[in-house]
Amino acid sequence: MSFMFWILAALTIAGGLAAVLLKNLVHCALAVTVAFAGLALLFLQLDAQFAGFAQILVYIGAVAILVVFAILLTRGSETPKKEIGVFSRTWLAGLVVAAALFAVLSWAVLQSAGGLSQDDAAPTVSVLQIGQALMGRYVLPLEIVALLLTAATIGAVIVAMHEKEDSK
């Protein structure tokens, strides 16, 4: 357990918590960006450079920006009124469920911690191999993802497009 790992884990968790807890939506968005960055660094820690950079490119470069845009377009940036909090009426139940889930998962992890592999030899994987895998063994998923992205782009555009009749 490297020292680096703990720092990054703390950063990520902190970012996640902030994202969930903060009042101002934009702060949440920025916090989640921090969490994304932390995750990307964790990936690098796991010798998964490609995945890490892809994570940065996609999440910080695109998703975070999208979220921010959405927030500004839905006037979410103003801090909400005091009388209704940022949490829904049923927040307690939600919290309980989440806690239960975490309990179960961690229980599972600790249960099976003994059986987990100990070896720490970093696998040497070049981008070339990844590319060949993408184009060879995983070409079908790749094509499907490409289709999915196209469909999603078009769909998002159509969904978010202004209907001509209701010009509010």
Partner 1 sequence: MLMQEMASVPFAPTTHCGPAGICDSLWLIPALPIVASGVIALMKQPQRKAAAALSIGSLAISLLLALVAFGHVVSGWTHGAAVRETVNFTWIQVGSAHVDLGWVLDPLAAVMLVMVCFVGLLIFIYSTGYMAHDENFTRFFCFLSLFAGAMLGVVIANSLLLLFMCWELVGLTSYLLIGFWYQKPSAAAAAKKAFLTTRVGDVFFLLGMVWLFAQTGTLLFYNGGAGSMEALKLGGLLATPSGLGLTAAGAIGLLIFAGAAGKSGQLPLHVWLPDAMEGPTPVSALIHAATMVAAGVYLIARVYPLMQAGALVGGTTAALTVVTWVGAATALFAALIAVAQNDIKRILAYSTVSQLGYMMAGLGMGGVAVGMFHLITHAFFKALLFMGAGSVIHGCHEEQDIRKMGGLRGAMPTTFATYAIGMLALSGFPLLFSGFWSKDGILEAAQHWSVGKAPFYMLVFGALLTAFYMTRQVSYVFFGKWRGHGQAHESPKVMTTPLAILAFFAIALGAIGTPAWPWFRAFLEGHAAEFGFAGFNEPGLLALMVTSSVVVLLGLGLGWWIYGNKSPQVETPDALERAVPPVWTVLQNKFYVDELYGVTVIAFYAWWAKVADWLDRRVWGGVVALVAWLFRGGAQLSRLSDEYWVNGGFDKGCEELSNSGGLLARVQSGKVQTYLRLLALAVVVLAAILIWSSRG
Partner 2 sequence: MQEKADQIFILLRDWLVGFLPASWQTAAGVLLGVVAIIAVFPGLFALTTVLERKGIARIQNRLGPNRVGPFGILQPIADAIKSLTKEDVVPLTADHAVHFLAPVVLVIVVFMGFAVLPVGRNMQLVDMDSSLLFYFAMGASGEVSIFMAGWSSRNKYSLLGAMRAVAQMISYEVPLLLSSVVIVMITGSLSLVKIVEAQNQYTWGLPHWYIFTPWGCAAFLMYAISATAETNRSPFDLPEGESELVAGYFTEYSGFKFALFFLAEYLAMFSISGLGTTLFLGGWSAPFAFLGWVPSWIWFFSKVMMSIVVMIWVRGTLPRLRQDQLMNFAWKFVLPMTLLNLMVAALWRFMGEGWLRWVVCSAILIVAYVIAGRIGMRREHLGPRTYRYAE
Partner 3 sequence: MTPLAGYLLVAALLFAIGLAGALTRRNAILVLIGIELMLNAANLNLIAFWRYGPHPEALTGMMFAIFSIAVAAAEAAVGLGLVISIYRHAQTTDLDQMNRMKG
Burial zone of 71 (CB within 10 Å; 0-12 exposed, 13-18 middle, 19+ buried): middle
Is 95 or 156 the residue whose CB approaches partner 2 more closely? 156
The answer to the question of residue 19 lying near partner 3 (CB under 8 A) is yes
Handedness of CA 131, 137, 141, 144 (dihedral sign): positive
Binding partner of residue 56 among partner 3, partner 2, partner 1, none, CB under 5 to 8 Å per kind? partner 2
Identify residues 14-73 at the interface with partner 2 (CB under 8 A).
26-27, 30, 33, 37, 49-50, 53-54, 56-57, 60-62, 64-65, 68-69, 72
Give residue for tokens 């949440």.
28
Interaction of residue 140 with partner 3, rule CB under 8 A? no
Identity of residue 48:
A
Residue 47 and residue 125 in contact, taking contact as beta carbons nearer than 8 Å = yes
Cα–Cα distance for residue pair 103/75, rounded to 1 Å: 37
Q: Rule CB under 8 A: which of 128-157 touch partner 2? A: 128
Give the nearer residue to partner 1 in terms of CB position, either 2 or 111.
Answer: 111
Residue from 78, 83, 120, 165 in contact with partner 3 (CB under 8 A): 120
